[in-house]
């Protein structure tokens, strides 16, 4: 039987789980790593629940834990020597591709969110340097304000605005061909610019 603390945490976290997962997936580029990141985030948040000030922005608080957990794991991964995975070996390729395409843990909501981004847009977002990608995700995908993002990434608002501007400009460059091939940009537009 769940304790009162567990019930309180479940009530607070439930509305944010899909957003946490989709943001983690965009940060890690890997379903398993995203699931691990969310699990680590939930574990840390539950342990630190006493530090959360009631009636404040729980969403910003949990996303700050997510971002800090990601940054810690990212820094740790950089320091470790590169490992070779059996999954990357040719004879395991088929099994890996099956695992990537068939997932029992997908939900309708996650499928819907994924369908909003076409491959070119997802690829452009994934190609952003992580400090820009993180701010663009938090602002344009998750809807956080500049101040909330500043608190989440522990940086001044000016830094957030600068990274967001640069990230959006890089996205604009990446997506130029995407927009051109889909007819959003015509030769008339280029002449006016």
Q: Is residue 174 part of a domain?
A: yes
Q: Is residue 128 part of a domain?
A: yes
Stretch (H or E) spanning 62: helix 58-79
pLDDT at residue 42 tops 90 = yes
Domain that includes residue 139, residue range: 117-185
pLDDT at residue 25 tops 60 = yes
For residue 190, count other CB atoms closer than 10 A to its CB.
9
The CATH number for 125's domain is 1.10.10.10
Per-residue pLDDT tens for 139-175?
988 889 999 999 999 899 999 999 999 999 888 888 7
Q: Is residue 151 part of a domain?
A: yes
State the pLDDT confidence band at 43, using cuts at 50, 70 and 90: very high
pLDDT of residue 15: 93
Number of domains comprising the chain = 1
């Amino acid at each position: 039987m769940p304790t009162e603390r567990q019930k309180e945490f479940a009530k607070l976290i439930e509305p944010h789980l899909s957003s946490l997962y989709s943001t983690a997936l965009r940060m890690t580029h890997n379903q398993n790593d995203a699931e691990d990141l969310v699990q680590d985030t939930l574990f840390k948040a539950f342990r630190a629940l006493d530090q959360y000030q009631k009636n404040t922005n729980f969403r910003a608080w949990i996303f700050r834990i997510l971002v800090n957990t990601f940054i810690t794991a990212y820094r740790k991964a950089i320091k470790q020597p590169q490992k070779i995975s059996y999954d990357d070996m040719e004879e395991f390729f088929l099994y890996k591709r099956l695992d990537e395409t068939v997932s029992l843990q997908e939900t309708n909501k996650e499928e819907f969110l994924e369908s909003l981004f076409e491959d070119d847009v997802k690829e452009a977002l994934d190609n952003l340097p992580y400090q820009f990608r993180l701010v663009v995700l938090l602002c344009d995908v998750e809807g956080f304000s500049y101040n909330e993002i500043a608190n989440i990434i522990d940086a001044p608002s000016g830094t957030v605005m600068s990274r967001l501007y640069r990230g959006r400009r890089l996205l604009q460059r990446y997506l130029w061909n995407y927009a051109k091939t889909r007819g959003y940009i015509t030769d008339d537009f280029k002449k006016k610019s």
